[in-house]
Structure 1
Amino acid sequence: MKQSYEVKISAEAWNSIQGLANNFNLSINELFERVGSGQMAIVDSEDLEDYLDLQEAIEAEANPENQERLSWEEVKQELGL
């Protein structure tokens, strides 16, 4: 049997959580349960951006049409360092 808890949050926070739950076609309760059980994760937006940048760099490195290499000295010269 599930226990009931009361949490007080602002209307803005409630609407944001409700919108997030709706994006996944979940109730707010289901959203919290999935996060709590580890089925869903909350990821910092900066960490996600870093991950996506790394993924893009790996894909670019693997692209056979992108095989030109520059030395560190050439890069510094182009950047005026």
Structure 2
Amino acid sequence: MTKIKDNYQVTLTQDGWTGIACIAEKLNLSVSELLERVGSGELTIVDPEDLEDYLDLQDALEAEADPENQQRIPWEQVKQELGL
């Protein structure tokens, strides 16, 4: 079933429009399709800091699972080596 689309108006700065158009182009979508997918929850906007935290967590989990990283060093030893 095809949904009927209505016309809406948004007001953007030139930089805002250029940015959205660039994102749509990278995803091979029209601006309308991009906004439709964001609005329907099909695409999610992620804060760059949240993404960085997620990637850092993934790196930490991979490092912890690496057999070469299985040696545990007591916290007191770490503090002593750092002069704390």
- Which TM-score applies when normalising by structure 2? 0.88
Moved more, 23-32 or 71-80: 71-80
**Which residue of structure 2 lines up, in the alignment, with residue 60 of structure 1?**
63
What do residues 56-80 of structure 1 show as CA deviations (whole Å, max 9, x unaligned)?
Answer: 0000000112212111112222333
2: CA distance, partners of 1:78 / 1:23? 49
Bigger radius of gyration = 2
Q: Which amino acid aligns with 2:35?
A: F
**Which residue of structure 2 lines up, in the alignment, with residue 36 of structure 1?**
39
Aligned match for 2:50, one of 38, 47, 50: 47
1: CA distance, partners of 2:20 / 2:82? 44
The size of the alignment, in residue pairs, is 81
- Which TM-score applies when normalising by structure 1? 0.91
Q: Which amino acid aligns with 2:15?
A: E
RMSD, aligned α-carbons: 1.1
**Which residue of structure 2 lines up, in the alignment, with residue 77 of structure 1?**
80
TM-aligned CA deviation for residue 38 of structure 1: 1.0
Which runs of 5 or more residues in structure 2 are unaligned?
none
Using a 3 Å threshold, how does the CA distance of structure 1 residues 79 and 32 change in structure 2: closer, same or farther? Answer: farther
Which runs of 5 or more residues in structure 1 are unaligned?
none
What do residues 24-69 of structure 1 show as CA deviations (whole Å, max 9, x unaligned)?
Answer: 1111111111111111100111110000000000000001122121
Percent identity at matched positions?
60
